[in-house]
Structure 1
Amino acid sequence: MSRSDRRRWRSAGTITDLGELMALWLEGKIASRPGYQPRYGPDDETAHLVPTLAALCRAGYVTTCSQPGFAGTGADGLWWEQRAAVELVVTNPKLFQRLVGAACAAGLVVRINECRPDGGVQEPPVVATTRDGEPVTAFGGRISRADMAIQWPGLDRDLYREVRTGTYVSIIAPEYGTPGERLWVVLDFLTGLRQHDPNSPWNGSAPASPPANADKERPS
């Protein structure tokens, strides 16, 4: 990471500041971000997700990891399947309720994980990518203090404490492949990036309330 990029991330004092910097990195306006290979932007496969992810970051949901839905033959000649998925850190309880409510109402899979002195909520991971039917990657799962130090090096001390004790929300499409790309439509209506669709339950201004059981995973 260049000295100027390091200074920009160090100068962030609030979640709003952090979200704006993450959005700028996603848009290619900052070369590097904490916890990621220096001078590398998002992977090519997520290029079409940048507007959605940047809007989430600017709405108070700081995205940390994402992947599109995909099903097809990989470069190795084997069959790969991906669920559309995203991980975000949320520190505002009202924003958390809106996010989980929207995801659950849309039938998406939700996982909650926290890094707190008492352990916090630690829901199990969800397989999100398979290679010839074998699990390759997962979203969700236990987050440790060591994980936080790797993911957020160089932040202001108070901001780091806020991020470390925030709630990490993983949202995963239950479907493998492109049908799961509906995940991004749901999130676009949540942030207001998409509007004026009479068929969308997110067109109104009232936030959705999460059901009592936020665990909507379907067997894989």
Structure 2
Amino acid sequence: MSRADRRRWRSARTTSDLGELMALWLEGKIASRPGYQPRCGPEGETAHLVPTLTALCRAGYVTTQSQPGLAGTGADGSRWDQRAAVELVVTDAALLHRLVDTAHAAGLIVRINDYRPGGVQEHPVVTTRDGDGEGVTAFGGRITRADMAIQWAGLDRDLYRTVSTGTYVSIIAPEYGGAGDRMWDVLDFLTGRRRHDPADPVDPWASRTQPTDPARG
């Protein structure tokens, strides 16, 4: 990370400051972010998600990782399926309840990991599986103290304390593949980026798939 980027992240004092910096990184206006490979932006597969992710960051939800819903064949010729998913850190109780209530109402899977003393720690959910149905990646699950320090390296001490004891929420589409990308429409309604049009027949809250038991993936 360059000295200029390091100074920008170090200068953040509030969660709103942090969200704005994360949005600028997503937009390619900052080259590096804490806990990520230096001078490396978001993965190409998430390019179309940037407007949704930046809106979340500027609305008080700091995104930490995300992936779109995909299905296809990997570079090695093997089959894989991927759920749309995003992880966010939330430090405002009203915003947290609004996010969780909206996700539940839309039939999305929610996992909460609260790093306040005695906070709930829910189990991760498989978000990518191979052609044999075996889980490859997952969202949610406890973040160790060491990993938390790496993820937010270089932040102001007080801001680090705030985000390292915040609530991490993983929102996951129950469907594998592109059908799960309805999740991003739901989140756009949450932030106000998209307004409901009564004439629009597309209902992002409608799901043909019920949330699955995380133990089954």
The TM-score with structure 2 as length reference comes to 0.91
Q: Do structure 1's residue 24 and structure 2's residue 18 form an aligned pair?
A: no
Shift of 1:116: 3.3
Shift of 1:43: 0.1
Q: Which residue of 2 aligns with 1:126?
A: 125
Amino acid at match of 2:49: L
Whole-angstrom CA distance in 2 between matches of 1:13 and 1:155: 9
**Percent identical:** 76
Whole-angstrom CA distance in 2 between matches of 1:93 and 1:168: 12
- Map 1:59-74 → 2, pairs under 5 A: 59-74=59-74
Aligned length: 204
Task: Judge conservation of contact 2:52–2:188 (CA < 8 Å) in 1.
Answer: yes
Shift of 1:197: 1.8
Whole-angstrom CA distance in 2 between matches of 1:164 and 1:124: 18
The CA RMSD over aligned residues, in Å, is: 1.3
Shift of 1:117: 3.8
Whole-angstrom CA distance in 1 between matches of 2:198 and 2:13: 39
Whole-angstrom CA distance in 2 between matches of 1:123 and 1:161: 21
Shift of 1:30: 0.2
Point out where structure 1 has 5 or more consecutive residues left out of the alignment: 201-215
More displaced stretch, 19-28 vs 145-154: 145-154
- Map 1:45-56 → 2, pairs under 5 A: 45-56=45-56
Secondary structure of 1:175's match? strand
Secondary structure of 1:81's match? strand
Q: Do structure 1's residue 218 and structure 2's residue 183 form an aligned pair?
A: no
Amino acid at match of 2:155: L
Task: Judge conservation of contact 1:87–1:169 (CA < 8 Å) in 2.
Answer: yes
- Map 1:28-177 → 2, pairs under 5 A: 28-118=28-118, 120-132=119-131, 133-177=133-177
- For residues 199 and 187 of structure 1, do their structure 2 counterparts lie closer, same or farther at Cα, with a shift above 3 Å needed? farther
Task: Judge conservation of contact 1:46–1:67 (CA < 8 Å) in 2.
Answer: yes
Amino acid at match of 1:99: L
4+ runs deviating over 6 angstroms: none
Q: Deviations along 1:27-63, whole A, 9 cap, x unmatched?
A: 0000000000000000000000000000000000000
Whole-angstrom CA distance in 2 between matches of 1:142 and 1:7: 29
Whole-angstrom CA distance in 2 between matches of 1:171 and 1:196: 21
More displaced stretch, 127-136 vs 100-109: 127-136
Task: Judge conservation of contact 2:69–2:181 (CA < 8 Å) in 1.
Answer: yes
Point out where structure 2 has 5 or more consecutive residues left out of the alignment: 201-209
Task: Judge conservation of contact 2:189–2:195 (CA < 8 Å) in 1.
Answer: yes
Amino acid at match of 2:47: A
- For residues 3 and 129 of structure 1, do their structure 2 counterparts lie closer, same or farther at Cα, with a shift above 3 Å needed? same
- For residues 199 and 162 of structure 1, do their structure 2 counterparts lie closer, same or farther at Cα, with a shift above 3 Å needed? farther
Q: Deviations along 1:52-109, whole A, 9 cap, x unmatched?
A: 0000000000000000000111111000100000000000000000000000000000
Amino acid at match of 1:127: V
Shift of 1:199: 6.6
The TM-score with structure 1 as length reference comes to 0.90
Secondary structure of 1:136's match? strand
Task: Judge conservation of contact 1:19–1:57 (CA < 8 Å) in 2.
Answer: yes
Secondary structure of 2:98's match? helix
